[in-house]
Structure 1
């Protein structure tokens, strides 16, 4: 692999610019941090999931011409279903808020297991069509412009993802230790519900 700083930096900047928007994956990390449940396991899983998608794009998918129409349609369908269900769950929490600190325990539900935390993070990472389009397709396609140095570009993009999720995890950890407001939880859940449903509607519209 030819590692060059300008190419590495270009991948890093592109990755950060794509991932910094508060999408489903980032919102999930924030919520896990505020709930104090498996935050760092979630951060590690999301970062590794992104690295897999970036590697797929840089090493293969971009050279094949991107996602096929059928695969794209299947991803969109799965994403719409997933986002709609999660949006409904967030809306229910908005209507019936629970205690801000560790709400699942206060509500009498069993805390999330490590396996559930990993599966949830993977679902937010791999059932979101935007994640595939932004990482595997867009980053993979952009890497082709760097020829033999495209692996350096991909390494920069992967590093950007790791840096972002570490920063987001620290922010969520810091907020979780300092914020204890039922109003904050209601606002977060309301915003998440609207964002999830809005994203799902946008995906449906993209099919027509």
Structure 2
């Protein structure tokens, strides 16, 4: 259960900040005429995250576990990266929501693929943070960690799509997004401390 809970906390901390991927899925919930027409964007983003998580957890770890010194370097690097990412997210005080016009299914899928797989921050999050965090687990614990991360991703993307659809007629204060970023930074810093304790 430790691996599962760790996966949930880490994935939640990484996915909450409203970067381009989250903003796009949220904007589709806001701009599409009904919630069902925004589903392609949410599914595509979640599938991309699932692919990246599987690649990071099982692909990276298979190589690194053979060399303890590489594992140690990556874990230390992951801790510093988490600390830096938390600092950047904590200081993020503005969000700009774009994409005011409804997109057809093909364009939704294309843009969701672009912001998910061509986004360096998304790649760093999965390979650099989730992948290295998974190195402390083996066997079934590693599987539970990956499943937890993927589960959070699917729930989150469908959740922000639903919220966007429900709040499309309301004015959303920017303060809401600032608070979410602060909470996310605390989760990320907590994960860095957890990894540091595991090293010691």
TM-score, normalized by length of structure 1?
0.60
For 1:104-143, what aligned pairs fall within 5 Å after superposition?
104=101, 112-143=103-134
Cα distance in 1 for partners of 2:110, 2:63 equals 29
Cα distance in 1 for partners of 2:109, 2:29 equals 14
**Equivalent residues of 1:62, 1:137 under 8 A apart:** no
**SS at structure 1 position matched to 2:17:** coil
Structure 1: segments with no counterpart, 5+ residues: 67-89, 94-101, 105-110, 192-208
For 1:65-80, what aligned pairs fall within 5 Å after superposition?
none
Matched, 1:36 2:32: yes
Cα distance in 2 for partners of 1:47, 1:103 equals 22
**SS at structure 2 position matched to 1:112:** coil
Q: Which has the greater radius of gyration?
A: 1
**Equivalent residues of 2:5, 2:148 under 8 A apart:** yes
For 1:42-81, what aligned pairs fall within 5 Å after superposition?
42-64=41-63
* CA-to-aligned-CA distance 1:16-50 (integer Å, 9 cap, x gap): 10010010101111211111163111111111110
Matched, 1:153 2:145: yes
**Equivalent residues of 1:61, 1:137 under 8 A apart:** no
* Matched positions, count: 141
**Equivalent residues of 1:14, 1:139 under 8 A apart:** yes
**Equivalent residues of 1:62, 1:136 under 8 A apart:** no
Q: Return the offset for 1:64.
A: 3.8
Of 159, 174, 182, which aligns to 2:166?
174
C-alpha spacing 1:103/1:126, structure 2 compared with 1 (3 Å): closer
Q: Return the offset for 1:62.
A: 4.0
Runs of 4+ in structure 1 over 4 Å off: none
* CA-to-aligned-CA distance 1:156-207 (integer Å, 9 cap, x gap): 111111111122111111112x23x7xx7xx99xx9xxxxxxxxxxxxxxxx
For 1:165-204, what aligned pairs fall within 5 Å after superposition?
165-176=157-168, 178-179=169-170
Corresponding residue of 1:85 = none
Cα distance in 1 for partners of 2:153, 2:62 equals 22
Q: Return the offset for 1:136.
A: 2.5
Cα distance in 2 for partners of 1:112, 1:22 equals 20
Structure 2: segments with no counterpart, 5+ residues: 65-69, 71-95, 178-200
Cα distance in 2 for partners of 1:103, 1:168 equals 16
Q: CA RMSD in A?
A: 2.7
